[in-house]
Amino acid sequence: MIYLDYSANTPADPRVAEAFLRASLDFPGNPNSKHPAGQAAANALSESRSHIAELLSVLPEELIFTSGATESNNLALLGSVAARRHVGRHIISTALEHPSVSACLSHLQENGYEIDLLPILSNGRIDLEALSSLLRKDTCLVALSAVDSELGTVQPLAEAAAHIRRFSDCHFHVDATQAVGKTPVDFSVADSVSFAPHKFYGLTGSGVLYKKKGVPLLPQLHGGESDSPYRSGTPALAEIKALECALELALSEQVSRNEAVRAHNAYLRTALSEEKKVSINSPADAVPHILNLSIAGSRGSAVQASLAAADICISVKSACSSDALPSRAVFAVSRSRKNALASFRVSLSHLTTREELDALLSALAPLLHA
């Protein structure tokens, strides 16, 4: 099998799996318990929290551990608007967001919130002038992705933050799930930032929400005492230890990993740019891990099925999106429904080999020359 869907999920690094197993065996106690086993687990949790905070250049108390990026996004969006009911019911976002954000926005819209989606420029970036003009006194939330999951576009977060800061009551949330471990992320520009380690060779089922100190947020889960006042539940110590390991590895190896991925991306771009039927939808300055393509005359879902028959795994849009609809991200940059329906995503890794890329190109050849 050839796996080229690393933006949906990555295999766990053996060192991460070992960290999970070791913590599972060494700390049987509940970190909320007051007995010695519980206190040993609580101390281990505190150590991991401090180390993760150091890696991200944030404060330990600004970290909320969750079950994944979906929960982190839900908590950030629903919790922030609930805490800002006095501000207003106006929200700004984009058509590029992951379903865990866009579905939250749809829910809020059904409950009386007004949603404005920013125009997307031909390079895949948000229109900052439009952001400035749309912001108003009753804007309670702006939600943007750091890196679009379908195109790989890196958004100008610092520039966006400069506009948003003119409205001190507006919460700025960044979904950095496709960014952390792949490109630098400055957490300080936002009020909250979400990510999950299964995107950088960690485990599925854990996530992080950074919430800037002093920023109001109402919890969305209610229960007993936990390690954070914003999220009830027994702290998943083994998952947090694995997250810590995955993050440390991703950041320390980021340069070498990116060099390999950049070479893979360039190889595919060079080969496919010569094909008349191929449109390369990802901008040239996107993260190299994501390469979005369209083949004229072929639906993206048909390309996926054809490659699956050759034991090659790629995706159509985000793994959490419906395949029946055109890619909103590709439509936003190309303004072509046909191109958006034809699009598919190849996502790369430092684990990818040149032989795998050649096999992909060979499997695509019948579609390109039909």
Question: What pLDDT does residue 222 have?
Answer: 87
List phi, psi (to 5°) of 114. -100, 125
pLDDT at 120: 92
pLDDT value at residue 326: 82
Give the C-alpha separation, 34 to 30, whole Å. 9
In the chain, the amino acid numbered 47 is E
Topology, domain 14-252: Aspartate Aminotransferase; domain 2 (3.40.640)
CB atoms within 10 A of CB 297: 12
Distance CA 80, CA 285 (A): 32
**Which residues form the catalytic set?**
320
pLDDT value at residue 320: 52
d(CA 254, CA 323): 32
pLDDT of residue 331: 85
How much is the pLDDT for 264?
98
Query: What is the predicted pLDDT for the residue at 214?
Result: 97
Q: For the domain bounded by 2-9+254-368, which CATH number is listed? A: 3.90.1150.10
Report pLDDT digits (tens) over 114-141: 999 999 998 899 999 999 999 999 999 9
With 0-12 CB in 10 A as exposed, 13-18 as middle and 19+ as buried, what is 167? middle
What is residue 327's predicted lDDT score, i.e. its pLDDT? 84
Pick from 32-46, 101-115, 174-188, 214-228: least confident? 214-228
pTM above 0.75, yes or no: yes
Angle at CA of residue 209, ends 205 and 210, nearest 5°: 150
**What percent of the chain stands above pLDDT 70?**
97
Cα gap 268→264, rounded to integer Å:
6
Give residue 275's identity as a one-letter amino acid code: E
What's the average model confidence in pLDDT over 88-109? 96
Rounded to an integer, the average pLDDT of 35-64 is 97
Say what the pLDDT of residue 227 is.
80
State the pLDDT at residue 318.
54
Which one-letter amino acid corresponds to residue 220?
Answer: Q
Domain locations in the chain as residue ranges: 2-9+254-368, 14-252
Q: Encode pLDDT of 299-350 as tens digits.
A: 999 999 999 999 999 999 755 555 567 888 888 888 888 989 999 999 999 9
What sign has the CA pseudo-torsion 127, 132, 133, 134?
Answer: positive
pLDDT, position 23: 98
